Structure 1
Amino acid sequence: MPIECLACSRGIEHCHGTLVQHVDATLECTDSGCEVLTVDQHELVLECWQVTGGCACAEVETVTKAAS
């Protein structure tokens, strides 16, 4: 018998992917089937600069702040 996460076993709507928040306020999820891009649907939420390899929008934000 497969093991379910607690939210699955309780029938709570959620996503197993990681929600990534970009500096321009856009959101994306690592689960291609994710349909609800909200913080409360995800147990793991990261800022884009925390993603391994970084993010182009985080680099632009850093350069913009440094130039100010």
Structure 2
Amino acid sequence: MITEEHGQNEDKQSDTEITEEDNAIMPKIRFEIVNYEYSSYEEYLQHAVYMTSNGWEFQSQNSNHKEVSWTKSYK
């Protein structure tokens, strides 16, 4: 069974000071991260087809290969 661990939206900006002029020419990078836990490799493969066809990219997996993080960028 696929279980979603958590999801979040983030606006990523650098720690440097950004002026209004810079902000007008430098759009925010928005992305979403979700984690899913899979009970089998076959389940992961089936879900991976769905995720990649909907614009998600594989990001990482934990040490026991059960939990996978996916990211999606919004431009």
Greater RCO (Cα-Cα under 8 Å, separation 6 or more):
2
**So what's the TM-score if we normalise by structure 2?**
0.23
State the structure with more CA Rg: 2
Larger fraction in strand: 2
* TM-score (norm. length: structure 1): 0.25
